Amino acid sequence: MERFVENRGDYLYLKLSGHFNIHELQPRFPVLLKMLIEERLSKVLIDCREMSGSYSRADRYYINHWLADLNIEYMHYHLPQLKITSVLTRRMFDPEKFGEKLAMNRGLQVHNTMDIEDAYQWLGVAPVEVPASDNRPVFSYSPQKVTPTSPGPV
């Protein structure tokens, strides 16, 4: 699973691509928390439109449980409640909103959609136009540090 993360001023943009693997995703939550705290951002847009595969009801449970826990840890730093939206593929989207309900019941403001414009509107942020030949650094994260790597495609 490939990851691209960028501070877009009002929010953190996280783009996931490749084949969905929950075992690769779970260790990234503490890293995401660290970046949100360091950047003092409370809004997150997770773009999964380039992901393949689907996930089970159990995967939905764990992902939203981890996001809700992330929110609780984030607020321990006296920062505002997180607001997280995910843009999903049709195969990943859950019309019954099981994961959303779980996270909301644990105090997280969360919204899943298949429409990027809906995600921007729900977060209350303006879309950012990114040129195709952008040379911004792609970041890789480890729990110990945040380090820029070579420029790559968005």
Q: How far is CA 82 from the centre of its chain?
A: 11
Question: For strand 43-52 and strand 83-87, is the pairing parallel, antiparallel, or unpaired?
Answer: parallel
β-strands 12-19, 2-7: how paired?
Answer: antiparallel
Please check the confidence at residue 141 and state whether its pLDDT lies above 60.
Answer: no
pLDDT in tens, 50-101: 999 878 899 999 999 999 999 999 999 999 999 999 999 999 999 899 989 9
Task: Check residue 2 and give its pLDDT.
Answer: 87
Q: Cα separation of 152 and 154, whole Å?
A: 7
Q: 2-128, what's its fold?
A: Transcription Regulator spoIIAA (3.30.750)
Provide the Cα torsion 5, 17, 69, 93; round to 10°: 130
Q: Domain spans of the chain?
A: 2-128
pLDDT at residue 110 in the model? 95
- How many helices (H) and strands (E) would you count in the chain? 5, 7
